[in-house]
Amino acid sequence: MRYQRRNSTLPSLLADIFSNNISQMVGGDMTENIPSVNVSTDDDKYSLFLAVPGVAKEDIDLKIEKDQFIISAATSNDETATYTKREFDYSSFRKSFTLPEDVDREGITASYEDGVLRVDFSRIAQEELEIVKKIEIK
Angle at 67 between CA 61 and CA 71, to 5 degrees: 20
Is residue 68 near another protein by the rule CB under 8 A? no
For residue 13, which amino acid is it? L
Is residue 103 near another protein by the rule CB under 8 A? no
Are 69 and 55 a contacting pair, CB within 8 Å? no
Q: How many CA atoms lie within 13 A of 66 on its CB side?
A: 2
Is residue 9 near another protein by the rule CB under 8 A? no
- Segment contacting another protein by CB under 8 A, of 30-38, 68-76, 102-110, 127-135: 30-38
Are 90 and 72 a contacting pair, CB within 8 Å? no
Smaller CB distance to another protein: residue 26 or 137? 26
Is residue 102 near another protein by the rule CB under 8 A? no
Which is nearest to 116 in space by CA: 70, 53, 32, 59? 53
Is residue 116 near another protein by the rule CB under 8 A? yes
Distance of CA 136 to the CA centre of its chain: 36
CB of 95 to another protein, least distance (A): 11
CB of 83 to another protein, least distance (A): 6
Is residue 8 near another protein by the rule CB under 8 A? no
Point out which residues bind another protein (CB under 8 A).
2-5, 19-21, 24, 32, 36-41, 49, 51-56, 81-89, 113-116
